[in-house]
Copies of this chain bind each other. A is one copy, B any other.
């Protein structure tokens, strides 16, 4: 039996969270009334009698398997085309085998064997990629092995003096924070995939956390990394900072398994913040919210939360239904109240017509929660989920589960994201809205597009778009591909990035190659030839 038997084979998350009939009925109704297009009930999912291609290779290691169910569970990530194909039971691109080493020391032999046999190796953490990061068709290879790191799931060392911890690559968010909580520490990195994704995956994909500013990107938490490449280990020195040459950590950050597999690293950790302040600001006009957000971040305030929800996004998350935009604003601090910081940011919002109810402030005396251990404690404690920010927090981690239900009632659902400087954002946003909506209408006859800012910087926002459209059953992947192409082409036309935190994988590869300088792509490829001479590491992703 697969060690992942408690997880949904095709959808996001736990198997017992697959959509119930009641959820499907409720979602159907919402699709009709809110989105204005009819649902398309899909055929029931096939049973577990999966029809996978025969494995082409059988790696001679005890920690490898060719079990069909295990292979099926390592075929896809969790993007829309992944869910749809899993839903229909299409597993043609399944890897030939899955390796699940118990120790990192077993990996070099696997890579040696794979190099000799010209077998592609695809590092696999939580399998939560939405950009085709773990789906490897491997033409020209003798086979494909998915390298699952999740047995490497321990905190190996904690340095309380420097506030850093040495962690293995396959540890998931909740396991990491549970082990750190025993030491009174946290990582405080909360990507939306937090429940399932792994430290190694975060590094490989330059994951972005939930916080809007400052300590949110995994890039900034990494003190050192160790990867196994086909030519040997690449382990950086543990340093708080360095000015010595191009940063080797920044080379592994975003490497997406193309040069090697990350096995462990040292990360910067911290105690639980003692003070929090938050408020929800309402703007009649989205663009007033944009200006207020820009001014807050350009005043160099550093809110932990600074999430601007456009009117459709506020509606989609059931936080507002009157066309207003919402700015979820929150500050946190390890030492000293955050009231004043919030008041300053609210004053800026007020200058731009924002309105808010009484802000909430918490300190060590008012907080009701204790150590939150494995929970994602990003907005406040458990007692405080009744306001918009608390609703948002639930909504944030629940969103991927809602995709399951939407897929099961024939809704094409996807998100795409970028970052762009403030001067270009208005034109970009209007053009994205127009072109992507047009593309949905053309492909699907209707469509819904909403926008929020997930992160903000002094020089620009990271807008994040959610799209929903009525799918044509059996034709979903092609429909999705054409809409996605329109979205990526539009971002590229404005010089925005192909991805702010979803990574490149295979889905964004074409536009990533347009984004980076040709000579830099050539240089990365020459690095790959040096570290991975046989080209076995995750071929087709990134490079």
- Chain A: residues with CB nearer than 8 A to chain B? 159, 161-164, 205-208, 217, 223, 229, 231-248, 250-256, 259, 268, 270, 294, 298-301, 333-336, 340-341, 344, 348, 419-423, 455, 457-462, 495-504, 508, 512, 515-520, 522-527, 529-531, 542
Contact = CB atoms under 8 A, between A and B. Distances in A.
Copies in the complex: 2
A499 B163 contact: no
Nearest to A260: B519
Contact of A245 (B298, B502, B516): B516
B508 A239 contact: no
Given A253-B246, A299-B335, A241 B526 contact: no
A144 B210 CA distance: 51
Residue from the set A236, A253, A523 with the largest chain B CB neighbour count within 10 Å? A523
A455 B300 contact: no
A244 B523 contact: no
A515 B254 contact: no
B254 A247 contact: yes
Nearest to A242: B497
B498 A244 contact: yes
Given A335-B344, A340-B340, A517-B235, A423 B159 contact: yes
A459 B268 contact: yes
A446 to B, nearest CB: 31
B243 A205 contact: yes
A421 B251 contact: no
A133 to B, nearest CB: 12
A543 to B, nearest CB: 8
Contacts of A458: 162-163, 240, 268, 270
Contacts of A244: 254, 497-499, 503-504, 508, 512, 515-516
Given A334-B300, A422-B162, A457 B240 contact: yes
B246 A420 contact: no
14 contacts: A162-B458, A163-B459, A223-B421, A229-B519, A237-B516, A239-B495, A244-B516, A245-B504, A246-B524, A248-B520, A336-B341, A336-B344, A519-B531, A526-B527
B519 A241 contact: no
A498 B428 CA distance: 44
Given A248-B520, A255-B246, A241 B419 contact: yes
Contacts of A234: 517, 519-520
Contacts of A163: 298, 458-459
